[in-house]
Amino acid sequence: MKNVLLKPLAALLPAAIMLWMPLYCQADDYHFADVNHDGEVNLSDVNAVIDVILGKSDPTPPVDPPAPVETRTFVFNGVEFTMVQVEGGTFEMGATAEQDSQMAWADEYPTHQVTLSTYSIGETEVTQALWLAVMDTLPCRFKNDPMLPVESVSWNDCQEFISRLNTLTGMSFRLPTEAEWEYAARGGNRSRKFQYSGSNDINTVAWWGNEKGGNSAYGTNRVAQKLPNELGIYDMSGNVWEWCQDWYRSYASTPQTNPTGPSSGQYRIYRGGSWNNDAKFCRVSFRYNNKPEAKLTSVGLRLAL
């Protein structure tokens, strides 16, 4: 009896793989291959296809695909960089349920409601190519590729870079606030509540690792080589930490609108984890801080506008 039941299912498996693999291999957006909508592309999606064949589930996605995110591309001294519009909205900031209380640090609590206005944020980290075009010097440890993220820059260095960029372009670029950074990392109003920026599988969206494992090969990697998050933003988990504008302080539980942090302090915030960190540091709610003059080979920046 068992063989009678298994044989038809076994016959369905090749058909399921044939239906699913072209989606995985050819889709420009990996979410098309995420048949069961769990944020990961793996054999569970084959099982989902089998369920569709057997009539156990509806192949139609749960919602219509969202409209494309608005972007704006700038060119400075031959170097292109793109800003992604993040529509304003309200979200719960801090160690929400999917962040895993076993990994969360005390300063990720209390969770609290934050409302933000619309803004734009870099599609990738600032690259060495853009930094060099603006500053004429390169401070990095890893220098074999202009599309590597800039690192070994302090918060103070970032302010000088942004000031020069704004003078040269007539724009008003800045660092993101901590709240803006987390909202964008979570996918904004398109968030699917992942632990990392764009997935629950860190290896699909981040360069990370230290002596306990990881995939970074102990250095930075070219930007935008992993999958983007729900807004089409790359590398908000891993590769390099990213300075934020805010001074560091503990969270309050009260709702906030467009928070900018305290007016003074000793340490500035950076977010996202890096090539040299365990996975828990690459979660979208994890916070870290350092003196504004600190320069580390694992810390860079991302622009906001």
pLDDT of residue 23: 47
Tell me, yes or no, whether 145 and 20 share the same domain. Answer: no
User: How confident is the model over 166-200, as pLDDT tens digits?
Assistant: 999 999 999 999 999 999 999 999 999 999 999 99
Mean pLDDT of 220-237: 97
Mean pLDDT of the chain: 87
CB of 93 closer than 8 Å to CB of 182: yes
- What is the amino acid identity at position 267? Y
Tell me, yes or no, whether 7 and 106 share the same domain. Answer: no
Burial of 53 (0-12, 13-18, 19+ CB in 10 A): middle
Long-range residue pairs from 26-32, CB within 8 A, at least 24 positions apart, any chain:
30/204, 30/227
pLDDT of residue 144: 87
Identify whether 152 is part of a domain.
Answer: yes
Tell me, yes or no, whether 75 and 45 share the same domain. Answer: no
What is the largest distance, in Å, between two alpha-carbon atoms of the chain?
Answer: 77
Where residue 68 falls among pLDDT bands split at 50, 70, 90? confident
Domain that holds residue 21: 2-53
How many CB atoms within 10 Å of residue 67?
A: 6
CATH number at 180 reads 3.90.1580.10
Higher pLDDT, 3 or 291: 291
Query: Cα(197)–Cα(182) distance, rounded to whole angstroms?
Result: 9
Tell me, yes or no, whether 8 and 147 share the same domain. Answer: no
pLDDT of residue 281: 96
DSSP assignment of 277-294: S-GGGGSTT-EEEE-TT-
Identify whether 129 is part of a domain.
Answer: yes
Query: Cα(32)–Cα(14) distance, rounded to whole angstroms?
Result: 19
Asked if the model's pLDDT at residue 265 lies above 80, the reply is yes
Identify whether 188 is part of a domain.
Answer: yes
Backbone angles phi, psi at 28, to 5 degrees: -70, -30
DSSP assignment of 151-189: -S--HHHHHHHHHHHHHHHS---BPPPHHHHHHHHTTGG
| Domains: count for the chain | 2
Query: Cα(300)–Cα(298) distance, rounded to whole angstroms?
Result: 7
